[in-house]
């Protein structure tokens, strides 16, 4: 099985990136093929992340979007976009920094991404 993780890869920070790298290592030990696509950086890097998510997503069986509120939500949006266009299964791994405020403020947008009321 091929799994694609879409996230804001930040190697110099601990936290979400470190957790995903640990999970990647564990999944690879179980003979899964795991790829990471980063959407972190300036506008060029973020657009490149979309292209890479679609490219790698087309070869994957499952897409996992990993992110958090506000700008950290971007990888989840990219994963949703790739999964929609490629008709792939997707899992969202949402870490909630200011989740209640974020979900309330952007409910109108999020319901279109997730296809239900949040």
Q: Mean pLDDT of all residues in the chain?
A: 89
> In which band, very low, low, confident or very high, does the pLDDT at 101 lie, cut at 50, 70 and 90?
confident
Quick count: other Cβ atoms within 10 Å of Cβ 65? 27
Quick count: other Cβ atoms within 10 Å of Cβ 39? 26
| Whether pLDDT at 57 is above 70 | yes
| Whether pLDDT at 117 is above 70 | no
Structure-block tokens of residue 50? 């979309």
| Architecture category of domain 2-114 in CATH | 3-Layer(aba) Sandwich (3.40)
């Amino acid at each position: 099985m091929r799994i694609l993780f879409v996230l804001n890869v930040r190697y110099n920070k601990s936290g979400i990136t470190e957790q995903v790298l640990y999970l990647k290592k564990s999944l690879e030990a179980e003979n899964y093929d795991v790829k990471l696509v980063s959407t972190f950086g300036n506008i060029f890097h973020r657009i490149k992340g979309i292209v890479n998510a679609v490219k790698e997503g087309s070869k994957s069986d499952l897409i996992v979007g990993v992110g958090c509120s506000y700008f950290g939500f971007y990888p989840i949006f990219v994963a949703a976009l790739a999964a929609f266009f490629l008709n792939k299964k997707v899992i969202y791994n949402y870490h909630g920094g200011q989740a209640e405020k974020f979900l309330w403020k952007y409910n109108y947008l999020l319901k279109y991404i997730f296809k239900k009321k949040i």
